[in-house]
Structures are given as structure tokens and as C-alpha cells.
Amino acid sequence: MFGVRLSCVPALQLVAQRCRLPYISFVREIDGAGDLLCGLELELPPLIPGEVARHFFFWPLPDDEFSNPYEDVALQGLRFLQAIYGFVVVDYSYTEVSLYRHLAAQIFSVANRGAHLACCVVTESEYGFPVRPYVLAAADDLLSTVDSIRNPQQ
């Protein structure tokens, strides 16, 4: 098993687009000591028309020398915007796997009950109980499908 780390940068760009931010920019500058500074500038729309737009800057955390500074500031920006706009970033792999697992359990339960009912219909027919021909045909068809799933070579 392995993990895949996805980038926060495209997630931030998508969120900025959905929130209709007027300006977002990744900053790259050299400070007075010659060190490279990487950051993020976000502009939020004014709260009241005619007001000045609000600018926010995010800089990477100094203690994490091995991380990508743009990922760091993008994550900070996402958290900041999440606090303001209240959106949720969904982990599709977890959500989809959970949904499919739940759905598969329900489908299996329904299919199992259907196969059991079909067996009862066929058995009653064999013992001479009156069964309508189309019901018997549907039961036989269902049991044939179940058999072909169990034994795909045939």
C-alpha cells in the first residue's frame, strides 16, 4: 500500500475561483540577506462596495526546511479561506470507497434475498404448488444469472 500526496496549490486556485477572489498570487522575492522568500498574497473583495480591498499575505513556516514552501502557504491560504467561506475539501478516495462499500453491502443483501426467493419459487414449483409461469421463468433466469456469476467459466 502507498499514499499519494496531492498538491494544495491547485486546490487553492480552484477555491479562489469558486469564491470569486479578485486576486491571488504566489510571491517569490529575494530579501536583503539574499534569501529566497516564497509566499502567497490573497485579495478578498470588500465587504461594502466602495471600500478598499483587503490583502492578506502568507509565508512558509520557518521550522519545516524540507517542505515545499508553496504547498505550505497554499495550505495556510486554504485554511484561512475555509474559516471565512465555510467550504469543505472532500477526500474523494475515502468518500467514494465508503460510499461503494455501503452500497455494495446493500446490493448484496438485496441480491441475496432475491436469490433466496427465487429458490423458494422453484422449489415450490417442483413440489407441485401453483406458480405462475412468468414468475417461474423470472426465478429461473435470476438463478441462472447467479450461477454464471459464481462460475464464470461456464
The whole-model pTM stands at 0.56
* 82-97 pLDDT per residue, tens: 999 988 877 666 667 7
DSSP per-residue string spanning 14-44: HHHHHTT-SEEEEEEEE-TTS-EEEEEEEEE
* 52-70 pLDDT per residue, tens: 889 999 998 776 655 788 8
